[in-house]
């Protein structure tokens, strides 16, 4: 294990009353409340927002993972002069707490020692209530992934019902959606100048709740290329009771994600209205550099004695960009971080790598150079005037847009320079590779394979059925096969034995038993044996979540099958791991029921043998006899599951 860097409390933003007083402050200007442990590093929300406010002259304190059962922790820290900023953390608290089977997870990556009981369910609601209870009259601003993706009516998988906007359930004065650095600074400046929180409703990137008798303000955004119209969404009551209205709402929301032309959205909730202003504009390269170049301590606060898994995962990684134009229907990154790619400069990235290399205990290996995707760095629409008007949900589906600049040259230059930093032995690429882009650039593929793969490269084809892939807005199956062939060919040419580690999703809308059998056959043919299963989790506001809830594709209004019963979802997980001896009886039963007896036998194309393999009868403490011999029944199985959604660890800054 790498030697821990020693820090003093003074290196961090204050987290206790004693640390506040040690700085000579009577009170902080802003208190940031977070469901995550406080790690002073730009991959974590409280740090990047706190340091940004500090850079601009504000006194900031951090209340990290407070005991939420009372307001005592809030009172102990004291009253903020300007406002509270509240976030559940880098993940939605329900995804953080529960698996796709709605079972409690056994670890929280953002807590010391992986402890699972340091934040509440629906943490934003609870934290906002405690803020209001501790000090009445202090403005409370909610943000982060949880608030951002629940800013309007949304389907909640864990309660299996449609919930109102988080503005109603939390009673926050404002919700800042998206990454939040520019809005939070504007909020601080305007409140500091004496404005009331109600006057901040003209800002980009905020949502608010109108009072029963309040009129809709006549706000216009001069920096918009759109028409400054206001769109009325179906009401909360309509989407709560009618699947078609919910699908219409989802389509409207996702057509307004381009900050350059997005229109204001209004949704009635009873006799009140939720108003969502256009998203904040993307940051420039100097703007993103400024955030990453702040004086972070780059480590967990000294009060933590146990390791924090999320920190151990990213401490030697470097984020080079944010945003994603992929528009995958099961992913929230585009909705939260935005579609335009926002990239750091080469100088800023290299400076951070140099800083890591100088750190005591650094082993010479940068674990990742990437972001939401590894190879969208500096890619943008080649015609800004078109980008400003475009409402296409994905720049790469169903085909790559002809005017999208897909050059990897800036990234190749960055990769080469990163390897030349003194003290760096290896720079790995661990973020997801967009294969449809990578396979078109031979130079990038060679650079990646020869220098940046540590034996295994993780990729995410997600499925083998083109029908399911289309619903996901992912490239067709042949894209993965073509990329795989080129990856193997380049690996052979450079004399390296390297392998792809593909991730696949079970139970995604559109995927039934037929499609999962098709995927199992594909895995068998290509020799893949996934040891972990990524089970689809319907996250708030995603298009795929709408499909799951309504059985409708919101873009076409066509019917879509979704596996909703836990037993049906389990069948899909079992098929992904057909090769496990303990799954033999279940897979056999599934295949017979599906009329695919041809996949049972000893020929190369068969998924399982006709007779139970050794270990097929192993079961938790007992055996179950079938007419074909000892084999397990359907109860008592445990299947590995990757925690959270595919990119959750990458999407969480925001505040």
pLDDT digits (tens, 9 = 90+) for 223-236: 888 888 999 999 99
Q: What is the pLDDT of residues 562-612, one digit of tens each?
A: 999 999 999 999 999 999 999 999 999 999 999 999 999 999 999 999 999
- pLDDT value of position 7: 57
Look up tokens 């083998």; give the residue. Answer: 464
Residue of higher predicted confidence among 501 and 655: 501
What's the full length of the chain, in residues?
655
Cα separation, 288 vs 344, whole angstroms? 6
Residues 27, 65 within the same domain? yes
> Is pLDDT of 247 > 90?
yes
341-350, 482-491, 636-645, range with the lowest pLDDT: 636-645
Domain boundary among 387, 411, 438: 438
Chain mean position to CA 249: 22
Asked if the structure places residue 197 within a domain, the reply is yes
* Residue 516 phi, psi dihedral angles, 5° rounding: -75, -35
Which range of residues forms the domain containing residue 114? Answer: 13-282
Domain boundary among 282, 301, 333: 282
- pLDDT value of position 345: 98
- pLDDT value of position 380: 94
Angle between helices 513-526 and 584-593 (to 10 degrees): 120
644 φ/ψ sector (left φ>0, alpha ψ -120 to 50, else beta): left
Residues 464, 603 within the same domain? yes
H or E segment and range at residue 43: none
* Residue 600 phi, psi dihedral angles, 5° rounding: -115, 120
What is this structure's pTM?
A: 0.91
> Is pLDDT of 6 > 80?
no
Asked if the structure places residue 450 within a domain, the reply is no
In this prediction, residues 31-46 reach a mean pLDDT of: 97
Cα separation, 66 vs 570, whole angstroms? 36
Cα separation, 177 vs 171, whole angstroms? 16
Please give the mean pLDDT across all residues of the chain: 92
> Is pLDDT of 378 > 80?
yes
* Residue 251 phi, psi dihedral angles, 5° rounding: -60, -45
* The 3-state secondary structure of 533-584, one letter per residue: EEECCCCCCCHHHHHHHHCECCCCCCECCCCCCHHHHHHHHHHHCCCCHHHH
Chain mean position to CA 121: 18
Burial of 266 (0-12, 13-18, 19+ CB in 10 A): middle
Cα separation, 471 vs 379, whole angstroms? 24
Asked if the structure places residue 306 within a domain, the reply is no
Q: b or e along 29-46 (b: 16 or more beta carbons within 10 Å of the residue's beta carbon)?
A: bbbbbbbbbbbbbbbbbb
Cα separation, 528 vs 525, whole angstroms? 8
Q: What is the pLDDT of residues 116-163, one digit of tens each?
A: 999 999 999 999 999 999 999 999 999 999 999 999 999 999 999 999
Residues 504, 578 within the same domain? yes
Q: b or e along 466-492 (b: 16 or more beta carbons within 10 Å of the residue's beta carbon)?
A: eebbbbbbbbbbebbeebbebbeebbe
- pLDDT value of position 498: 94
Angle between helices 285-292 and 45-55 (to 10 degrees): 100
Secondary structure (3-state) at 290: helix
Cα separation, 554 vs 560, whole angstroms? 10
**Residue 62: strand pairing partners:** 32
- pLDDT value of position 225: 86
Q: How many helices (H) and strands (E) does the chain have?
A: 24, 24
Transcribe 296-340 into DSSP letters. ---EE-TT--S--HHHHHHTTEEE-EE--S---TT--HHHHH-SS
In this prediction, residues 230-258 reach a mean pLDDT of: 97
- pLDDT value of position 3: 36
CB of 574 within 8 A of CB of 583?
yes
Cα separation, 497 vs 207, whole angstroms? 51
Cα separation, 655 vs 639, whole angstroms? 34
In this prediction, residues 215-242 reach a mean pLDDT of: 93
In 3D, which of 213, 336, 211, 337 has the Cα closest to residue 274? Answer: 211
Residues 471, 373 within the same domain? no
Cα separation, 367 vs 639, whole angstroms? 28
> Is pLDDT of 643 > 50?
no
- pLDDT value of position 1: 33
Chain mean position to CA 390: 24
Share of the chain above pLDDT 70, in %: 93
Asked if the structure places residue 293 within a domain, the reply is no
What the block records as the tokens of 137 is 């009259």
Strands 60-64 and 30-34: parallel
Residues 469, 536 within the same domain? yes
Q: How far is CA 48 from CA 62, 288, 307, 355, 545, in A?
A: 12, 11, 21, 17, 30
Strands 174-176 and 140-143: parallel
CATH (domain of 402):
3.30.750.210
End-to-end CA distance of the chain: 31
- pLDDT value of position 617: 66
Residues 175, 29 within the same domain? yes
In this prediction, residues 173-177 reach a mean pLDDT of: 98
- pLDDT value of position 654: 55
In this prediction, residues 39-60 reach a mean pLDDT of: 97
Chain mean position to CA 194: 36
* Residue 434 phi, psi dihedral angles, 5° rounding: -80, 100
How many domains does the chain contain in total? 3
Which residues, including other chains, have CB under 8 Å from residue 578's CB and lie 6 or more apart?
A: 520, 523, 524, 587, 607, 608
Asked if the structure places residue 651 within a domain, the reply is no
In 3D, which of 455, 450, 427 has the Cα closest to residue 357? Answer: 427
Look up tokens 């003093």; give the residue. Answer: 8
> Is pLDDT of 651 > 90?
no
Cα separation, 110 vs 182, whole angstroms? 25
Cα separation, 563 vs 513, whole angstroms? 9
- pLDDT value of position 241: 95
What does the DSSP 8-state code read for residue 650? G
**∠ CA 83-41-324, rounded to 5°:** 90
Cα separation, 260 vs 279, whole angstroms? 8
Residues 381, 273 within the same domain? no
Residues 247, 330 within the same domain? no
Q: b or e along 410-448 (b: 16 or more beta carbons within 10 Å of the residue's beta carbon)?
A: ebbebbeebbebeebeebbbbbbbbbbbbbebeebbebb
In 3D, which of 388, 417, 642, 397 has the Cα closest to residue 543? Answer: 397
In this prediction, residues 622-641 reach a mean pLDDT of: 34
Domain boundary among 405, 438, 471: 438
* Residue 414 phi, psi dihedral angles, 5° rounding: -65, -40
Asked if the structure places residue 20 within a domain, the reply is yes
Asked if the structure places residue 505 within a domain, the reply is yes
Helices (H), 464-557: 466-472, 477-493, 513-526, 543-550
Residues 489, 400 within the same domain? no
In this prediction, residues 280-288 reach a mean pLDDT of: 96
- pLDDT value of position 609: 95
Secondary structure (3-state) at 56: coil
> Is pLDDT of 629 > 90?
no
Residues 506, 552 within the same domain? yes
Look up tokens 């039934």; give the residue. Answer: 512
Share of the chain above pLDDT 90, in %: 88
Asked if the structure places residue 650 within a domain, the reply is no
CATH (domain of 463):
3.30.750.200
Residues 373, 254 within the same domain? no
Residues 433, 503 within the same domain? no
In this prediction, residues 320-334 reach a mean pLDDT of: 94
CATH (domain of 236):
3.40.50.280
Chain mean position to CA 385: 29
Cα separation, 411 vs 393, whole angstroms? 24
Q: What is the pLDDT of residues 59-97, one digit of tens each?
A: 999 999 999 999 999 999 999 999 999 999 999 999 999
**Residue 39: strand pairing partners:** 300
> Is pLDDT of 649 > 80?
no
**∠ CA 298-50-359, rounded to 5°:** 10
Sign of CA dihedral 412, 414, 420, 425: negative
């Amino acid at each position: 294990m790498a030697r821990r860097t020693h820090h003093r409390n003074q290196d961090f933003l204050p987290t206790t009353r004693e640390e506040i007083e040690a700085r000579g402050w009577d009170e902080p200007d802003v208190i940031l409340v977070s469901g995550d442990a406080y790690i002073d590093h730009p991959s974590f929300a409280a740090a990047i927002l706190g340091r940004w406010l500090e850079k601009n002259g504000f006194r900031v304190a951090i209340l990290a993972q407070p005991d939420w059962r009372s307001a005592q922790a809030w009172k102990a820290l004291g009253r903020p002069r300007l406002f509270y900023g509240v976030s559940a953390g880098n993940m939605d608290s329900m995804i953080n707490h529960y698996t796709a089977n709605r079972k409690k997870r056994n670890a929280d990556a953002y807590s010391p020692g992986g402890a699972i009981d340091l934040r509440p369910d629906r943490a934003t609601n609870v934290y906002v209530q405690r803020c209001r209870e501790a000090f009445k009259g202090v403005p409370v601003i909610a943000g982060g992934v949880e608030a951002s993706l629940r800013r309007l009516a949304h389907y909640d998988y864990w309660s299996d019902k449609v919930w109102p906007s988080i503005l109603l359930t939390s009673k926050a004065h404002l919700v800042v959606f998206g990454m939040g650095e520019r809005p939070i600074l504007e909020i601080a400046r305007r409140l500091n100048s004496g404005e009331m929180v109600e006057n901040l409703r003209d800002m980009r990137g905020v949502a608010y709740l109108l009072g029963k008798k309040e009129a809709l303000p006549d706000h216009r955004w001069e920096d918009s290329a759109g028409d400054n119209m206001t769109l009325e969404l179906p009401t909360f009551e309509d989407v709560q009771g009618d699947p078609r209205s919910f699908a219409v709402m989802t389509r409207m929301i996702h057509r307004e994600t381009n900050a350059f032309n997005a229109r204001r959205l209004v949704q009635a909730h009873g006799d009140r209205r939720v108003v969502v202003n256009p998203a904040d504009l993307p940051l420039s390269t100097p703007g993103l550099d400024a955030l990453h170049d702040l004086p972070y301590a780059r480590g967990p606060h000294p009060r933590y004695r146990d390791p924090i898994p999320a920190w151990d995962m990213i401490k030697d990684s470097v984020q080079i960009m944010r945003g994603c134009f992929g528009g995958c229907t099961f992913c929230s990154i585009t909705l939260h971080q935005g579609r335009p790619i926002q990239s750091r400069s080469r100088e800023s990235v290299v400076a951070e790598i140099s800083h890591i290399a100088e750190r005591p205990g650094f082993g010479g290996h940068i674990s990742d150079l990437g972001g939401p995707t590894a190879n969208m760095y500096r890619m943008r629409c080649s015609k800004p005037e078109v980008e400003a008007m475009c409402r296409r949900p994905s720049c790469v589906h169903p085909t790559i847009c002809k005017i999208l600049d897909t050059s990897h040259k800036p990234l190749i230059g960055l990769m080469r320079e990163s390897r030349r930093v003194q003290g760096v032995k290896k720079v790995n690429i661990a973020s997801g590779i967009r294969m449809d882009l990578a396979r078109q650039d031979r130079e990038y593929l060679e650079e990646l394979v020869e220098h940046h793969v540590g034996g295994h490269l993780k990729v995410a084809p997600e499925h083998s059925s083109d029908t399911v892939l289309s619903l996901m807005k992912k490239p067709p199956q042949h894209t993965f096969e073509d990329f795989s062939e080129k990856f193997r060919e380049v690996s052979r040419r450079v004399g390296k034995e390297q392998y792809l580690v593909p991730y696949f999703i079970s139970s995604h809308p559109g995927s039934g038993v037929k499609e999962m059998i098709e995927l199992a056959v594909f895995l068998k043919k290509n020799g893949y044996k996934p040891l972990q299963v990524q089970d689809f989790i319907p996250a708030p506001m995603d298009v795929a979540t709408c499909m799951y809830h309504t059985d409708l594709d919101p873009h076409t209004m066509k019917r879509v099958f979704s596996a909703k019963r836990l037993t049906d979802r389990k069948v899909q997980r079992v098929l992904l791991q057909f090769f496990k001896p303990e799954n033999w009886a279940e897979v056999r039963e599934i295949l017979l029921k599906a009329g695919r007896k041809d996949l049972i036998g000893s020929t190369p194309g068969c998924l399982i043998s006709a007779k139970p393999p050794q270990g097929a009868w192993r079961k938790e403490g007992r055996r179950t006899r079938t007419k074909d011999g000892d084999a397990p029944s359907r109860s008592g199985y445990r299947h590995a599951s990757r925690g959270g959604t595919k990119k959750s660890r990458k999407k969480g800054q925001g505040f």
